[in-house]
Chain A
Amino acid sequence: MSEQAAEAEQPDIKSARLSAEQYARNFSDMHPPLGATAALVEADRCYFCYDAPCTEACPTGIDVAGFINMIKSGNNFGAARLILQENIVGGSCARVCPTETLCEQACVRNDQDHRPVSIGLLQRHAVDAAMAAGQQFFSRAPDSGKTVAIVGAGPAGLSCAHGLARRGHQVTIFEAREKSGGLNEYGLATYKMLDNFAVREIDYIVAIGGIEIRHGQRLGEDFDLADLQRQFDAVFLGIGLDAVNRLGLAGEDADGVISAVDYISEIRQCLDLAELPVGRRALVIGGGMTAIDIATQVKLLGAEEVTLVYRRGPEAMPASMEEQEFCQIKGVKIRYNAIPVRIHTTGGHVSSVEFARSQSAADGSLNNTGEGFSLPADMLFTAIGQKFNAGIDPPLAFENGRIQVDAERKASVSGVWAGGDCIGNGADLTVAAAQDGKLAAKSINAFLQSSGNEE
């Protein structure tokens, strides 16, 4: 083997591929906030529809037309109150919601001029104004004497905690990681939520009082559900998903094969992006928002070629068309209808991946066409979904591999509720988690009140 060839087979992975200015530009706000005048102009585009379809499309039922109408008159606090009373993490949702498949998809403006009202940006405008002014809209009811344990300080847990604190209950949140926020803190592409927003939002939420957060407390390791049942009047589980799916291929544990969820967290927590190593050629396998987020970010960190490979066609992709377009605009190449079949390694490090071309059958199943291709890779990111792994004692009934809950988010064991990504019929969205927490708080409150009467 010539020296050149040997060198070519060395993985090309390094940090500091870009200048400080390039990092700053690449990781600036994905959707910059509206200025004061732009917000008025955009709000003026809203028709204030009767029984507005956008509200119907919002999982938390925010009165969208109502709050936009308030922005029109400069009543930003009134708008923020309307948003936050339905969704206390409305500031996060304004940034991370796939609005193009929710409220903005329902906007009647789509039918008129193919451009919906920018509801997400308007929501951000109002909530940011209230948060910047430290304007609180809710206060704690007198102490009920009841205590609730919440496991997980993500959107579901925080939403539930706020709903309970408003009603006078004392809440203790057990969070496994060092920081609160869940996926808002660890699981988002950095450009979706800047300026330490996740932390600021939590500070704003817990300012209501009656909420204590204990970090470094992992369910199943530091305590069990049974402990909480003994010590508290009710328990809410908002524990998310703690494991990732595997490709099931040999070589999956080779160097350079990385879980996208882990690397996204690393990027998000990194103080200096120049310290993060990225491959010259990166492959991403998956089709959800995690796949889009990792592919885009690796590209923006300076990777030369980033290819996202998805097993089905663009319409079947869980990530919306807008997200697919976004990552393509940033320079990611998407290959559809290809399934990874073999990971090649050199010296214990991934060097390339072999794919089989697939074809979707009428019944939705995938067929291998027998053709294939191979792509070189210095890094391979897997983003094929997360799963529930936590052992819960006492055991709860499951559904679709996750915790089974009813319409009020009650689990199968009395006194236990659950919400967010860990439940079986969840939508894997921040906004859905917020709704779960809100509904659970209402149900827990009713439970606590009735149990109080019995005493």
Chain B
Amino acid sequence: MADLSSTFIGIQSPNPFWLASAPPTDKAYNVIRAFEAGWGGVVWKTLGEDGPPLVNVNGPRYGAWHSGDRRLMGFNNIELITDRPLATNLQEITQVKKDWPERAMIVSLMVPCEEKAWLDILLRVEDTGADGIELNFGCPHGMSERGMGSAVGQVPEYVEMVTRWCKEYSSMPVIVKLTPNITDIRHAARAAQAGGADAVSMINTINSIISVDHDNFTINPSTGGKGTHGGYCGPAVKPIALNMVAEVARDEVTRELPISGIGGITDWRDAVDFIALGAGNVQVCTAAMTYGFKIVEDLNTGLADFMDSKGFGSIDEIVGKAVDRLTDWQYLDLNYVVKAEIDQARCIQCGRCHVVCEDTSHQAISSLKDGLRHFDVIEEECVGCNLCVSVCPVEDCISLRELAAGEVDKRTGEVVSGQYANWTTHANNPMREGRS
């Protein structure tokens, strides 16, 4: 079986699956259960500065968006960082790391943007024997109002400054957790790198409102009649997270910067997506909060079987494997032509492809043949947009067929050249290269 062991910025863990800094890693009890279940490591829930512990609301902390069959698709929270005394957390971290030496133990930190505050906590965390720290520059609710969390992550100069302090006052590897609540994630990643970060982790949660209560027009979840935006996570955010991971992975400045991938990872296939787009390992939270820690068994065996089937010996062989397949729109090959093709043997005659193409796209799927219900592609109209493939309820029923060089595109009447050509040199582009 494939070797799942992971070494991420020098930190060893038996598999690449860490629990993200969040409620599942708030205390020893949960973390021990996670390790017993098989998780490779944890990022301990964010510690704040010493003093009276902060408080959470006593109303609901979580909100959910469900699919029709009550599957949790999106999740948000307004929980703050740990509300337990610093000393208790540090003592438990020390003990758990001692008892589970082969599992990764990262400590998430968030203190005010003052050098002294960071110095103080770094020295105390170093004593726990933890493997590394993660700087929480991402939390979008509550703490950001106090000048921490995403309030720091949104200002690249602050990111760089605090990262530099952490590297200066600590020998522990530093992971900087980035907020997605920003226009271009690359600026924050570059700042972290400039400050000396060993890695970035991404994404933290996204500003969100789950829904409105239709009976009294309050916000869900409601705290005594009022609501506030919370951090959004779960399966719904995965595509957003993947893009941000990939942008950092292919950025000229940060392409060598290790990434711990986070954002809606629920099963091993999600993990492969993140790893292929540049993540060295992955962190999971919502899936564990939805189903419990046992899901790590699927993550482990699914990934191992995948690696065996594809001939990968280690995680590192997959890391970044899809990054060079990502490019800008302007470099996409405009001479690549596809047509939808319906496998009539698989078609169940639901007609969804027809109605969406007819109503919202290119009128390229017919609904009748010899007066009978029958769905087929009209190649003269088909632009190969993939809408029919996307809405078809039957897997592999509709596919896109690439036209070979020399074939005629019935829509344009032109012969497919087979030669790569993109927008930058296209005749219709007024800004095209080489134009005087």
Q: Which residues does A use to contact B, with CB under 8 Å?
A: 37, 40-41, 43-44, 47-51, 53, 72, 108-109, 111-112
Contact = CB atoms under 8 A, between A and B. Distances in A.
B349 interface: yes
B373 interface: yes
A172 B394 CA distance: 52
Contact of A47 (B68, B70, B352): B352
Contacts of A43: 68
Given A40-B69, A44-B68, A72-B68, A111 B393 contact: no
B69 A50 contact: no
A51 B373 contact: yes
A53 B373 contact: yes
A190 B402 CA distance: 60
A445 B370 CA distance: 38
Contacts of A48: 352
Contacts of A112: 348, 393-394
A47 B373 contact: no
Given A41-B69, A108-B350, A112-B393, 14 more contacts: A40-B68, A41-B68, A47-B350, A48-B352, A49-B350, A49-B352, A50-B352, A50-B367, A51-B373, A53-B349, A72-B68, A111-B348, A112-B348, A112-B394
A41 B68 CA distance: 6
Nearest to A37: B70
Identify the 10 closest CB pairs spanning chains A and B, nearest first: A50-B351, A44-B68, A50-B355, A111-B348, A108-B348, A49-B350, A41-B69, A47-B350, A108-B350, A112-B348
B67 interface: yes
Given A47-B393, A50-B354, A50-B355, A108 B349 contact: yes
30 contacts: A40-B69, A40-B70, A41-B69, A41-B70, A43-B68, A44-B67, A44-B68, A44-B69, A47-B350, A47-B352, A47-B393, A48-B352, A49-B349, A49-B350, A49-B351, A49-B352, A50-B350, A50-B351, A50-B354, A50-B355, A50-B367, A51-B373, A53-B349, A72-B68, A108-B349, A108-B350, A111-B348, A111-B349, A112-B393, A112-B394
A40 B352 CA distance: 21
B378 to A, nearest CB: 16
Given A50-B355, A53-B373, A109 B348 contact: yes
Contacts of B348: 108-109, 111-112
A111 B355 CA distance: 20
A49 B394 CA distance: 13
Interface in B381-414: 393-394
Contacts of A50: 350-352, 354-355, 367
Contacts of B352: 47-50
Nearest to A43: B68
Nearest to B365: A50
Interface in B256-285: none
Most buried by A among B350, B355, B367: B350
Contacts of B355: 50-51
A168 to B, nearest CB: 36
A112 B393 CA distance: 9
Nearest to B375: A50
B214 to A, nearest CB: 10
A50 B394 CA distance: 15
B122 to A, nearest CB: 49
B367 A51 contact: yes
Contacts of A111: 348-349
Contacts of A41: 68-70
Interface of chain A, main secondary structure: helix
A320 B354 CA distance: 33
A72 to B, nearest CB: 5
Nearest to A109: B348
Contacts of B373: 51, 53
A72 B349 CA distance: 22
Contacts of B350: 47, 49-50, 108
A137 to B, nearest CB: 21
A51 B351 contact: yes
Contacts of A40: 68-70
Contacts of B67: 44
A40 B355 CA distance: 24
Nearest to A71: B68
Nearest to A110: B348
Contacts of B394: 112
A147 B354 CA distance: 48
A37 B69 CA distance: 7
A27 B216 CA distance: 44
Nearest to A111: B348
A178 to B, nearest CB: 45
A110 B323 CA distance: 42
Contacts of A53: 349, 373
Contacts of A108: 348-350
Interface string B349-385: 1111011000000000001000001000000000000
A50 B366 CA distance: 12
A112 B397 CA distance: 11
A53 B351 CA distance: 10
A89 B349 CA distance: 30
B9 to A, nearest CB: 43
Most buried by A among B67, B351, B355, B394: B351
Most buried by A among B348, B367, B373: B348
Interface string B66-99: 0111100000000000000000000000000000
A54 to B, nearest CB: 11
B363 to A, nearest CB: 14
Nearest to B359: A50
Contacts of B69: 40-41, 44
Nearest to B358: A50
A225 to B, nearest CB: 43
A47 B367 CA distance: 16
A44 B373 CA distance: 24
Nearest to B368: A51
Contacts of A49: 349-352
Nearest to B347: A111
Contacts of B354: 50
A372 to B, nearest CB: 47
Contacts of A109: 348
Nearest to A72: B68
B6 to A, nearest CB: 38
Nearest to A49: B350
A44 to B, nearest CB: 4
A113 B349 CA distance: 14
Interface in B33-71: 67-70
A379 to B, nearest CB: 47
Nearest to B394: A112
Most buried by B among A44, A48, A49: A49
A298 B164 CA distance: 86
Contacts of B367: 50-51
Nearest to B69: A41
Most buried by B among A37, A40, A50, A72: A50
B323 to A, nearest CB: 36
A50 B355 CA distance: 6
A37 B71 CA distance: 11
A356 B348 CA distance: 45
Contacts of A51: 351, 355, 367, 373
A49 B350 CA distance: 5
A374 B352 CA distance: 56
A175 B349 CA distance: 45
A193 to B, nearest CB: 29
A445 B351 CA distance: 37
Contacts of B393: 47, 112
